[in-house]
A and B are shown apart, each in its own frame.
Chain A
Amino acid sequence: MSQKRQKLFSSFLVNGSLLILCLIWTIPTIGMLVSSFRPRDRVLSTGWWNVNWSELTLKNYQQVLTGKEIKDPNMPGGVAKGDNMSRAFLNSLTVTIPSTVIPILIAAFAAYGFAWMKFPGRKVFFIMVVAMLVVPLQIALIPILRDYTKINLNGTFLAIWLAHTGFGLPLATYLLFNYISSLPRDILESAFIDGASHFTIFTNLILPLSIPALASFAIFQFMWVWNDLLVALVFIGSRPEVAVLTQRLMDMTGSRGQDWHLLMSGAFVTMMVPLMIFFFLQRYFVRGLLAGSVKG
């Protein structure tokens, strides 16, 4: 095989296998996308691959976005409109953004402290942080709720920011420590010789260098908080003023889950924000940012 043909062949092989894997990964999602445009009865009677193009409707999306149609004999036409999503959307953003940024900030400081500062108890404390990774957050709900009740914090956004910070912190510290501790020592040593303090080194050197790690953790924390139902239900409740998107979605499926078909269009609507964040942060995963300076 000539050099050129070999290159062509390997590119074909690479792109071909990538295509197959991507196809397998998207099939379930495509199924959901198609189903989200179909009426409920059709979804249950035929497979989505047998979709009849004329049956496609925007009604599911319309209900999700503008408010669900609720039977109400007292209203003209026997139908009332439920709340729309805008408030829940705003609530979700208000919950998610600080719940993503605060733990990253705190974890980055802690990771730097563990990686580059010497102090007694360092190992013990670090082991504690790593061990907390495995604690299921369910066991913490009741004690924390008790504390919150004592200081009258229940139902506020602050309550849930702090809760998500607490629950996300072990993973954030663990991942960021891994990254920050593997940054080359000579960078820091030369900075020290120049008379920089820990704080300056951290803010001016370590944070910018850690952007890929910060960005990847940010994505996951964002999605975890965005899609969380349990923590939000426990600490801020489901009153309409504070309910987040996932709660609105669950409400829409009805008391006995009879309207679950709205879940599919709803899932697509709620998915949009994390995807946008992903596309936005993806540009930080670029080759060369750390080339030659990082040891694995």
Chain B
Amino acid sequence: METTEKSFQSSGLYGIVAWIGRVAVSLIVPIFTFLVMWRGFIFLRDGNAPKLVMALVAIIWGVGGVAALYVVSNWLVERLGLRWRLLLQPFVFVGPGLAILLWYLFLPSLRTLYYSFFNRTSTKFVGFDNFIFALTDKAMLESFRNNLLWLIVGTSLSVVFGLLIAILADRSKFEKIAKSIIFLPQAISFVGAGVIWRFIYYYKPPGEEQIGLLNAVVTALGGQPVAWLTERPWNTFFLIAIMVWLQTGFALVVLSAALKGVPEELLEAARIDGANEIQIFFKIIIPYIQGTIITVSTTILIATLKIFDIVFVMTNGLYGTEVMASQQYKQMFKYQDFGRGSAVAVILLITVIPVMIYNLRQFREREAF
């Protein structure tokens, strides 16, 4: 396969034509999908069938339309003959995904980068002023410190709990119910979670009946009630607890699926060799599912960086609990400062580069590339 490709590239004209062909393939599928879906949608929107029927047709329409377009474009490319097929077929596969990413995330990111050098109304070039602000402002410095805590404590606790529960559940008869229970918080919306945790951390003055669980426990043990969410620096940990409660389900589900992939023979063989469960865990299971652990950690790490709902709902970043994502949201949408908001978003992007490089290295080691 590689030799054919090289011979193509050696001739310049072919290269250009092939390049145009790739771009065309990448764009035609999504644009055509879009047009067909849109047309269909106008038809659906103006129809007056019962709601349920409309909803059903819309769903089949949307999902079926996308599937059909892959089939059709692949069919077309496969007509073209071997040379062109080899050149263009990969773009039938990756093209639509790339085009959508380009539109929805890549171009807006470039725009953000551009705006990060302009003032709050994007009318005047200000150089690095926004970045200087973002790296010196009191609230931002606080965010960096807190984000570090979130990343380290939040991610590791979620993954460790997820792995622990996955392994315990794997050996238990109550696997399904246990997994469902840990997973449950994932299904609750952030607004709902906010209300739930309000009643964990609720503070009432001493002498009152405590309606927050933690303070009820503390006062029952003879202590004074604590205003958990205003108690620096511990309040950040109390917020992280909410994140761990929410995210462990994700780690659990994915890690548990990976555990199922560890071949039974391997474990049996180790047991026969006299290894104990702890040795098996560290010497066989962990290396075996290492790839998945990295994936899960990366995903949670990034989710943690982006999370602002918890902070926003619980403390609004007050009492020293600010994080970068909530600063970004506030600067952009509450304070209408596009320059600063964009600069914080760019810093967020830069922060993750090391994680990304690590991931790509892992891929190469596993010969995925």
Contacts and interface: CB of A to CB of B under 8 A. Distances in A.
Interface size class of B (residues with CB under 8 A): 35 or more
Interface stretch (B146-154, B229-237, B314-322, B356-364): B356-364
Contacts of B1: 118
B98 A125 contact: yes
B108 A139 contact: yes
A270 to B, nearest CB: 7
A12 to B, nearest CB: 11
B93 A109 contact: yes
A10 B78 CA distance: 58
B41 A97 contact: no
B89 A117 contact: yes
Contact of B59 (A97, A115, A173, A278): A97
A28 B168 contact: no
A21 B94 contact: no
A49 B213 CA distance: 8
A193 interface: no
A285 B260 contact: yes
B180 A107 contact: no
A19 B185 CA distance: 17
Interface stretch (A60-68, A73-81, A162-170): A162-170
A143 B52 CA distance: 33
Contact of A15 (B34, B172, B210, B257): B172
B366 to A, nearest CB: 7
Contact of A144 (B93, B108, B195, B298): B108
Given A14-B171, A18-B169, A45 B290 contact: no
B168 A35 contact: no
A290 interface: yes
Interface string A243-261: 0001001100000000010
A278 B109 contact: no
Contacts of A15: 172-174
B93 A110 contact: yes
A291 B258 CA distance: 10
Interface string A31-58: 1100100000001111111100000000
Q: Is the interface of A mostly helix, strand, loop or mixed?
A: helix
A188 interface: no
Contacts of B197: 28
B338 to A, nearest CB: 9
A132 B293 CA distance: 20
Interface string B199-238: 1100000000111110010000000000000000000000
A27 interface: yes
A1 interface: no
Contacts of B261: 290-291, 294, 296
A29 B94 contact: no
B132 interface: no
Nearest to A277: B187
B84 interface: no
Contact of B100 (A122, A169, A171, A263): A169
Given A32-B195, A156-B45, A267-B188, A282 B108 contact: no
Contacts of B2: 118
Contacts, number: 343
Contact of A296 (B245, B289, B332, B348): B289
A31 B211 CA distance: 11
B282 interface: no
A287 interface: yes
A129 B91 CA distance: 15
B80 interface: no
Interface string A168-192: 0111011101100110000000000
B186 to A, nearest CB: 6
Contacts of B196: 28-29, 31-32, 264, 267
B187 A216 contact: no
Nearest to B103: A166
A9 interface: no
B199 A31 contact: yes
A98 interface: yes
Interface in B99-118: 100-101, 103-109, 111-112
A106 B97 contact: yes
Given A246-B191, A296-B261, A278 B180 contact: yes
Interface string B301-342: 010011000000000000000000100110011000000011
A197 B341 CA distance: 48
24 contacts: A11-B172, A21-B182, A28-B185, A35-B199, A105-B70, A106-B66, A106-B96, A109-B97, A112-B93, A120-B9, A123-B369, A132-B109, A158-B62, A175-B299, A178-B295, A181-B366, A212-B257, A267-B188, A267-B189, A274-B186, A282-B179, A285-B257, A294-B261, A296-B289
Q: What 4 A-B pairs are tightest by C-beta distance, nearest first? A: A166-B104, A267-B192, A113-B93, A110-B97
Given A118-B1, A264-B192, 15 more contacts: A28-B185, A29-B196, A93-B59, A98-B63, A122-B90, A130-B359, A134-B305, A136-B329, A139-B345, A147-B103, A169-B97, A173-B97, A227-B188, A246-B191, A270-B192
